Amino acid sequence: MAGHTGGLSARMSKGRAAGAALPEGSPNDDARTAFWLVAPALALYAVFTLLPIAATFWLSFNSSAGFNTSASFVGVGNYAKAAQDPIVWKSLVHTFAWLAYHVVMAGGLGLLLALAVSRLRITQVFFRTAFFLPHLVSLAVVGVIWANIYDPFFGLLNTALTQIGLGAFTQGWLSDPALVLFSVNVASSWQGFGLYMLLFIAGLQNIDHSLYDAAEVDGANAFQKLIYVTLPGLREVMTFVISLAMINGLKGFATVFVMTNGGPFYQSELITTYIYRLAFQSQDHGLAAVLCILLSLLAIVITIVFNRWRARLSQ
């Protein structure tokens, strides 16, 4: 121990002596400058992100009945409780379904519209701008808008269906337990697809145009060019959009909270909305913390899987 400390101080004084002899920009000076450049960001990040991450871990092994009560250690008790809570399982299943809906609807629409819009020359800016408009609206405001669209009596959807003679398709879009998660996701995807479309358009612009010329020389038709040139050229953007859509989907909260608050009968409860309910309404912090860990793990796994996939593609 003493030897170790001695070695460290010797190294430090040696560094100081060398620093005095060297011109500006020695490793020692650099380290000090780097520290001051990173310090403001690191301080904020440590207090409001790193510390809470660590504390969430700690909390998941403790039980606490509210913000003003002291916690007691319960080991894996909260994890056992979570495994037995049917709403935890429901919210997990709903979250996976929610991600799948979002990737297919928002990602799919983004891709289709990008393919179409990128063919335009004169009107491209107009269509791109117009299709992007929903993305500018806050998801909470989207929730208010779509709650009114789905309103069974005054809502746009049911009245429009009735007017065009499809009255048979009118529904209680948010009151039907089998439909509610999908209905809310339509609203989220309506808001989300615009960004994915922009990313796909950027990806399409990066495809080497000579590949199309070569395909044309070989006698490829439009469909073959799509399959053999365009889609392979988009592979990297596609993995990126899918991972972004999944992470965005995982953070989904506002539309559900505003439109259904997880109901009816927990049929639109997501992990995020259940965390909020447990933490701020029923004040079961231990159980909420377990769900927080679960949510983080999902996010980390998704990120790692897609980064690996992306790295393999770009080799």
Partner 1 sequence: MSVRNREWPVVLALTPVLILILAPFVWLVISSFKTEAEIGRADPFTWPADLMWRNYLDAWQIGGFGELVGNSLINLVGVVLLSLITCAPAGYALAKIRFPGREWLFYAFILGLTVPVQAIVIPLYQVLFGLNLVNTLAGIVLVQVSNGIPFGIFLMRSFFIGVPDDLIEAAKIDGASHFQILTKVFLPISTPAVQALVIISALSTWNDFFLPLIVLISPEVQTLPLGLVRFASTYASDYRLVFSGTVISFLPIILLYILMQRRFTEGLTQGAIKG
Positions in 60-99 near partner 1 (CB under 8 A): 67
Separation of alpha carbons 115 and 208, rounded Å: 16
Angle at 288 between CA 286 and CA 289, to 5 degrees: 65
- Min dist CB 253 to partner 1, Å, is 5
Nearest to 78 by CA among 296, 301, 293: 293
- Min dist CB 37 to partner 1, Å, is 4
Taking CB under 8 A as the rule, does residue 24 contact partner 1?
yes
Of the candidate residues 4, 121, 209, 312, the single one contacting partner 1 (CB under 8 A): 121
- For partner 1, which stretch binds (CB under 8 A), given 73-81, 88-96, 170-178, 293-301? 293-301
Helix (H, G, I), strand (E, B) or coil at 72: strand
- Min dist CB 278 to partner 1, Å, is 9
Taking CB under 8 A as the rule, does residue 144 contact partner 1?
yes
- Min dist CB 6 to partner 1, Å, is 19
Positions in 26-55 near partner 1 (CB under 8 A): 27, 30-31, 33-35, 37-38, 40-42, 44-45, 47-53, 55
- For partner 1, which stretch binds (CB under 8 A), given 6-14, 82-90, 167-175, 279-287? 279-287
Q: Which helix (H) or strand (E) holds 131?
A: helix 124-132
- Min dist CB 96 to partner 1, Å, is 15
- Min dist CB 147 to partner 1, Å, is 8
Nearest to 142 by CA among 172, 184, 97, 197: 184
- Min dist CB 159 to partner 1, Å, is 5
- Between the CA atoms of 49, 255, 249 and 233, what dihedral angle is there, to the nearest 10 degrees? -120
Q: Taking CB under 8 A as the rule, which mask of x and - marks residues 149-178 in contact with partner 1?
A: x---xx-x--xx--x---------------
The structure tokens listed for 49 are: 């992100």
Separation of alpha carbons 65 and 78, rounded Å: 12
Taking CB under 8 A as the rule, does residue 22 contact partner 1?
no
Number of residues that bind partner 1 (CB under 8 A): 93
Helix and strand counts by DSSP (H, E) for the chain: 17, 2
As a whole number of angstroms, the longest Cα–Cα distance in the chain is: 88
The structure tokens listed for 195 are: 């960004």
The structure tokens listed for 153 are: 């009596």
For partner 1, the closer of residues 3 and 25 by Cβ is: 25
Taking CB under 8 A as the rule, does residue 104 contact partner 1?
no
Identity of the amino acid at 141? V
Positions in 195-224 near partner 1 (CB under 8 A): 195, 198-199, 201-202
For partner 1, the closer of residues 113 and 178 by Cβ is: 113
Angle at 165 between CA 161 and CA 167, to 5 degrees: 55
The structure tokens listed for 313 are: 């593609």
Positions in 239-278 near partner 1 (CB under 8 A): 240, 244, 247, 250-251, 253-254, 257-258, 271-272, 275-276
Separation of alpha carbons 100 and 182, rounded Å: 10
Distances (CA, A) of 11 to 8, 28, 40, 138: 5, 12, 28, 54
Taking CB under 8 A as the rule, does residue 134 contact partner 1?
yes
- Min dist CB 3 to partner 1, Å, is 21
